Structure 1
């Protein structure tokens, strides 16, 4: 059963999902069909879709808040929670459309539309439906959500029109909508309060391959692998984008690595360059030259977060497996650093040691520099025999390596191989080395890497070792 639930979907157009997720969405869809099935014999049947609209709408609101008590208690990761939010939101829109269109059709056919429209609750209900139409249209992934994020995000505030209209239009609206709306109000209050935190950009480092790393003091994650929403006024005042935090809990700082993959992130690559030029010019005029000071005032940056909770409790299993592609190494760095720091502090909750196995795939050799310092720090901690943690690092470079040897040592922190990894073989090697120990697995990277990682974890699992998989992906 564990092997089956770990596998990704075999259906081509939903391969980014796995079996448990497909089961949940199937049950959800079946219940909506079951409760919505009727023969449309009477006008009261049309009202059924109104009830299903506010029921699904209230549930969707529960999933939308960033500071989400429901998610923390149930340990539902942000990406999974937002996936549920989209499904339930779609069901809300479908039921609202059925309810609105059937009611209007009946009024038109019986010549009652003008009379019915005199009652305030009818135009208010239509306005609520129109607001859902705006949200649904601007949520189309390939047109808005993934290409033009702001055109997707800001129209979502039309949900306030939907909630207000539904509360006025429906008799039992408060019972369904106010619990989720109340959580959203609390979430907005917490986020507003956090805007007054004293945070400062400590350093900005640019790397080849289009990666800029920000180190921010005054904000720290509470657990590994959390996300934060970042706004850089010098780039855009209205753009807030989510990024995985690469630092670990207990460091009183947050590290965010941003790669140039879109218009916003490409502009980020020039942030801090003018500050560095001013600092260097000042140093030369004074007769000395030093690296850019960490005390200088960098460009202002706003951070909303950290948010999110992992499905797995990192450290609960003795084996930690981290598989990453490109900039997807950020949650892996956070998790590995957290485990290493816990081991160094003597906080191992089990007899024996933690064993970290990290597999990182990058396109070019120089991309390793993105987190070279963090990897060296992890290797240094693991090299201490008194610290109950071991570390195995494998890096695959898909291009840009000229050495003919099968494996290249990279400054003592791991082995480098040219070409794409054989994930099944790598997972089997981990299994053979750690028999009798269950493993927590984090996958983050391109969709194909995550899919291959799930297949490999499923095949490598056996009675003596189970690979419990959690994948990192932004579902916005």
Structure 2
């Protein structure tokens, strides 16, 4: 029977640890060409000449862009599958053992501790790999999950093999009375609980159970340090970085801020603006805690603002218990503010900080203080937005939030380039195409003001950017007879969208829409942001792959909201 690569199990665990870190360095190196390309082009969009791509590279690009090839695993594209296979290969390579003697079981204990140390390195929000190596946050999250599963797998193997031996030699009772083994079992139970609460159906339905159960990693770390003799080498670096990150966040979280404006909109959406928090990349995530909703719970939300703006904008839809309570709290605040406005004098007070009614027929905006804490924003994206001349934004419902951030960022870059020497060739411009899919026409009010402002800026012929908006309404529209009847009865008139772009009833034909973008921007590279239901993401991926040709590729990045 073949022997393991290294006889020394502790050295094998160290080699595995370094190999995974090397894998992360490779992830970083993948993005280096884009950084150098952006520096070379000095902030202008990068254009390529026709027939730049080889046929073979175009074929490989299509394979990498297509949706998941594995049934029932909808979010694992080919690049993610290759990453996973590389990671599994490292675990098999360094975890191979003959398991002939009881001393062989220690290898899986060492691999448990090595994986635990790696998971800690990726656990902090101000992540070292993201900040220094610029590895995209979704990629780090993938590795964190896989490493967590590997930790549980090796720990369970180590535990099961030892229990089997204890039962076989009739030493189970004596062994379980040993303090060191008791501590090891405690560490394994902590891992098992974290794993179970991390399962998708629990994480989505019971977020608090998932979030707070991860505090058990303290139990695992202490148990591993007591159970093993050389654990600090693997565990303490990540624990130290996490401690520094947590101390900074703890100090920062005491800075209470107040929402400058709160707006309740149709579709159970609450929108509020906070000054003093800025994003460094489009589409970053911040953790929000509102004492009026819950004193303990922090929930993550995407920030709709762009780099350079002095405020952070959140649009939160009431889908779960926390977000619904937030929506009700905002509505109560707005009702109180409305009462104050109705009892005030007929002559408006120019010094009043009360803001006017929002564009939505169901919204009121107010400056009434709402106590809030914000942790972040955090995250590094995998795409250099504005690097390529064409940006395609595909959004479903509230998934428009990162799209607003990206569009604002690119148009701001175009405004900055307006005063510099710029070519009159449209190929040197930025072109943004937005496809927004909604169930109800009223939901356009969520970002109607932002879309109107961005469209007006892009309409200036001196600004080297175009902004095309297409909105699809998938819900059933009221008939003309129903509209007339509601008017005759004196009820509220139907909502009409008067903003920029084209409104179309029915679900979009994504392939035709992508083909139209391709015809308009022939010969240009495009990058695609898609955020929404999985069916929309898969449809956008498939369409982007089909329209990619040798004279221009469509590069897709999913704005997934996973933790």
Q: Which TM class, normalised by the smaller chain length?
A: over 0.9
CA distance in 1 between counterparts of 2:448 and 2:557 reads: 24
Tell me the secondary structure at the aligned position of residue 70 of structure 1: helix
Q: Cα offset for 1:116?
A: 4.4
CA distance in 1 between counterparts of 2:454 and 2:115 reads: 46
CA distance in 2 between counterparts of 1:120 and 1:350 reads: 73
Give 1:368's aligned residue. Answer: 444
The correspondence for 1:136, drawn from 195, 206, 211, is 195
Tell me the secondary structure at the aligned position of residue 13 of structure 1: coil
Asked if 1:378 is matched to 2:454, the reply is yes
Deviates more, 1:237-246 or 1:344-353: 344-353
Give the TM-score normalised by the residue count of structure 1: 0.93
Q: Which has the higher contact order (CA 8 A, sep 6+)?
A: 2
Give 2:500's aligned residue. Answer: 413
CA distance in 2 between counterparts of 1:205 and 1:115 reads: 64
Contact 2:259/2:367 (CA < 8 Å) preserved in 1? no
Deviates more, 1:59-68 or 1:267-276: 267-276
Give ranges in structure 2 of 5+ residues lacking alignment: 1-59, 356-365, 481-495
Contact 1:62/1:180 (CA < 8 Å) preserved in 2? yes
CA distance in 2 between counterparts of 1:321 and 1:403 reads: 33
**Match runs of 1:21-420 below 5 Å:** 21-117=80-176, 119-142=178-201, 144-197=202-255, 199-288=257-346, 293=354, 296-346=367-417, 352-401=428-477, 411=498, 413-420=500-507
CA distance in 2 between counterparts of 1:422 and 1:403 reads: 24
CA distance in 2 between counterparts of 1:63 and 1:462 reads: 37
Provide closer, same or farther for how the CA distance between residues 299 and 188 of structure 1 changes in structure 2, counting only shifts above 3 A.
same
CA distance in 2 between counterparts of 1:333 and 1:186 reads: 33
Q: Cα offset for 1:65?
A: 1.6
State how many pairs are aligned.
Answer: 471
Give deviations 1:288-317, integer Å, cap 9, x for gaps: 386981584422121111011110011111
Q: Cα offset for 1:402?
A: 5.3
Give deviations 1:404-433, integer Å, cap 9, x for gaps: 9xxxx9535101111111111111211221
Give the TM-score normalised by the residue count of structure 2: 0.79
Q: Cα offset for 1:403?
A: 8.3
Deviates more, 1:234-243 or 1:283-292: 283-292
Deviates more, 1:388-397 or 1:272-281: 272-281
Give ranges in structure 1 of 5+ residues lacking alignment: none
Contact 2:255/2:373 (CA < 8 Å) preserved in 1? no
CA distance in 2 between counterparts of 1:350 and 1:166 reads: 60
Contact 2:304/2:313 (CA < 8 Å) preserved in 1? yes
Contact 2:69/2:78 (CA < 8 Å) preserved in 1? no
Tell me the secondary structure at the aligned position of residue 81 of structure 1: helix
Give deviations 1:258-298, integer Å, cap 9, x for gaps: 11111111111112333333333333333238698158442
Contact 1:198/1:218 (CA < 8 Å) preserved in 2? no
CA distance in 2 between counterparts of 1:152 and 1:95 reads: 21
Contact 1:200/1:218 (CA < 8 Å) preserved in 2? no
Give 1:436's aligned residue. Answer: 523
Give the superposed CA RMSD.
2.2
CA distance in 2 between counterparts of 1:234 and 1:415 reads: 40
**Max radius of gyration: which structure?**
2
Contact 1:134/1:155 (CA < 8 Å) preserved in 2? yes
CA distance in 2 between counterparts of 1:76 and 1:378 reads: 30
Give 2:21's aligned residue. Answer: none
Provide closer, same or farther for how the CA distance between residues 271 and 78 of structure 1 changes in structure 2, counting only shifts above 3 A.
farther
Q: Cα offset for 1:145?
A: 0.7
Q: Cα offset for 1:80?
A: 3.3
Give 1:467's aligned residue. Answer: 554
